[in-house]
A and B are shown apart, each in its own frame.
Chain A
Amino acid sequence: DGGITQSPKYLFRKEGQNVTLSCEQNLNHDAMYWYRQDPGQGLRLIYYSQIVNDFQKGDIAEGYSVSREKKESFPLTVTSAQKNPTAFYLCASIQGNTEAFFGQGTRLTVV
């Protein structure tokens, strides 16, 4: 099936650790996005990438890093510099200026 796959579904991180969230798509979309959602809130843009080997900061990029080495993959690393990483993370892909499609999300908890 075509779609966007995020893994893992749940992730626990110790204080001071870096963790990487996976996002893979087989829709052949050029653009991919990462969003963060806190409880009861909307989605805030972390990073986005329009093409391979290029990405831009969104509104809340501090403490996060990304790479886009392949069209299909856009992993997000939550670094130890992110002071409040507990949240729900959503990845999306879009072709051109049409519909965005989302993965099922990763719930990250700091323990």
Chain B
Amino acid sequence: GIQVEQSPPDLILQEGANSTLRCNFSDSVNNLQWFHQNPWGQLINLFYIPSGTKQNGRLSATTVATERYSLLYISSSQTTDSGVYFCAVARTGGFKTIFGAGTRLFVKA
């Protein structure tokens, strides 16, 4: 099956700093999403981005499908950005949505 690798596994930032999270995948995909899991376990949809670039406030994401990676940018980080960020993909022609292991982000005040 398709492999999804996220890096870094853990990240500590000072409030106000910028960061880039990466998601590599091993096969062509027709679905890619980024999620933020809050401390209560709720998965919040950040981006649906199988290709191209999107921005939403301080967050933006870019997926280069031909090179099999996606990047999530967080600018001017805030303590409320803390949590786990997951990348999830579905292989082209498939229906299974597979998650990476996540990047655990802690933003210090």
Listed in ascending order, the chain A residues whose CB lies under 8 Å from chain B are 31, 33, 35, 37, 41-45, 48, 50, 56, 58-59, 88, 90, 92, 94, 97-102, 104-105, 107
Contact = CB atoms under 8 A, between A and B. Distances in A.
15 contacts: A33-B97, A37-B41, A43-B86, A45-B96, A58-B96, A90-B41, A97-B30, A98-B48, A99-B33, A100-B45, A100-B97, A101-B45, A102-B35, A102-B43, A104-B42
Contacts of A88: 41
Interface stretch (B12-20, B57-65, B99-107): B99-107
Contacts, number: 50
Nearest to A101: B45
A45 B98 contact: yes
Contacts of A90: 41, 43
B21 interface: no
Contacts of B99: 35, 42-44
Interface residues of B, number: 22
Interface of B: 1, 30-31, 33, 35, 40-43, 45, 48, 86, 88, 90, 95-102
